[in-house]
Chains A and B, each alone.
Chain A
Amino acid sequence: MANFLYSGAGDVRLAEVLAAEYQLILADRFSILMDPLMSRAAFYAGNARGKGSTALKTPLVGLSGYNRMGAVAENASTTPTSVADSSATVTIGRQAIERGISDINDLVDSIGLNVEALIRDGLMAYAMRWMEMFCALLPGFSSVVGTTNTDMSADDFFSAQFTLIQNVVPGPYLCVLYPVQATDFLNSIRAEGGPWKEREDVQTILGASGNGLIGMVNNIPIVSSQMVPTMTAGADSGGGMFGARAIQWASGTPAPVRGAGEVIYQAGTVLYTELERDASATLTKIVHNAHIGFAELEDLRGCTIRTDR
């Protein structure tokens, strides 16, 4: 009697089956939007809902100590001091991502890759788009430290910190770097001498891994993100260090969508998801929308760190 071997059991065995669940492909999934660092990162200019414009202008005024009193003689008359003012405008724009899945693909799902998963996908897609738009502004500050085509060093970190201190930018600061900038910085720490290198925070960051918040140095959190853009025709990365109110952002809460199919509003965000049905093609379309915008608020509150990509 012949043995029933696997190689002869083609009718009752499968060549391969799926594992119990899917694994996410490696990607940068850290967004400051989802982190307590959010309070340091960007000033929220407001919501455009009902404002009559997609452009929100944030006024900047010179009060509360911007001008100081001066000595005036006993019986002399004072003259008015004008209030310094300027403004910075941020406009919101539509950000979206669409997914589609057929009924047959949805019904055979065995690993959780279905309509529900595509709906959940929208939240992180929004968060990463937020991070991408935020990082796009980092190369734009007029204060720049670092040397083109040269690895980032501890000196560059200090130069950025000193620039902000000299510009009387209130702390705490936040530093966002491209991963190569972050590793170059860690490598530079290894070559440092003196007592600074022995600080606990400096020693601790040498054990960093992954991306996102990788540690704190000099009380400044350091975020490593692939969303940091290039500069100098691609030769460099444009990371940055900044205090609060260097960058502003705005959003637009959607009005109730009339005449739509199912609409899902993600609590705590301006993201909303609509499901659209193409019955004749048995397609379920999932469209995520959000209206947000970013712009520089006050240039001197930030410093670009421009070093080798």
Chain B
Amino acid sequence: MPVEFNGGGQIPAPQAPQMGPAQESRLPHGVRPPFVLAHHPVRWMFVDGEWLPDLVPITIEPGISAVDKAGDTTLMLVESQKRGRIVLPWELVPPSTPSGKYIRAYPCTGPRGALYHCTIWEEPRVLAGRPAPDRVDQDGYRAWLRWLIAERHIPAMQEEARLLHLGNQEARVARATAKAELQPTLSHLQERQEAEKKSLEAMKAASEAPKGKGREARS
């Protein structure tokens, strides 16, 4: 028999919570300012058997990296060149790129007009009203890096840079070997040693020419 309260009625059945009015479509992420990407001759990364440029993100905001009070980037470009960097304009993408730029922006929470900038290979995601890790199109980004090299927007990796990175990897192999020999019973140290060795061998074997999907590497 249902319990009666002073109202004389029964306990109301649970109801689904009423949702508020539809919110404006803005990312819950904080403001992320625009940026350009730049190449430095020393910065390369070894990924899946090939050397790819490890680009530097330079924030374009007044007061950062010599961007002036009005957002003018002239001095930033000069300082970048002094450091040996090659700044890549936003429009430096293959002609087939839909947006024609490698950067895009989404409205986000913050002052009116607040924008969250990211590359075209990043897709901001939201989970339960909070920022979630971006979905990243790794293959697309790496294809663009290969395109930059193939089209000679970025010079090919210099031998000095390759030797520098090989030296660093050899040091990692030496450290991993020392740890593995110190604790031979720890299998994960042995595995790490093998992984570092394989990486070193792959680095040595990799050619400087870019490997493209559906694109022949230039000799």
Contacts and interface: CB of A to CB of B under 8 A. Distances in A.
Interface string B56-70: 111101111111110
B218 interface: no
Interface of B: 5-7, 40, 42-43, 45, 47, 54-59, 61-69, 75, 78-79, 82-84, 111, 118-119, 121-122, 133-134, 136-138, 141, 168, 171-172, 175-176, 179, 182-183, 186, 188-189
Contacts, number: 137
B66 A91 contact: yes
Given A142-B40, A193-B179, A148 B65 contact: no
Contacts of A293: 62-64, 66
B6 A95 contact: no
Main SS of the interface on chain A? mixed
Interface stretch (A75-83, A133-141, A204-212, A215-223): A133-141
B185 to A, nearest CB: 9
Interface in A222-246: 229-235, 238
Name the residue among A54, A143, A233 with the largest chain B CB count within 10 angstroms.
A233
Contacts of B65: 136-137, 140, 294-296
B57 A238 contact: yes
A148 B45 contact: yes
A174 to B, nearest CB: 19
A162 B56 CA distance: 22
A159 B171 contact: yes
- Chain B at the A interface: SS class: mixed
Q: Which 6 A-B pairs have the closest CB atoms?
A: A93-B62, A93-B63, A193-B183, A293-B63, A234-B122, A233-B141
Interface in A190-211: 191-194
B63 A88 contact: no
A213 B141 CA distance: 34
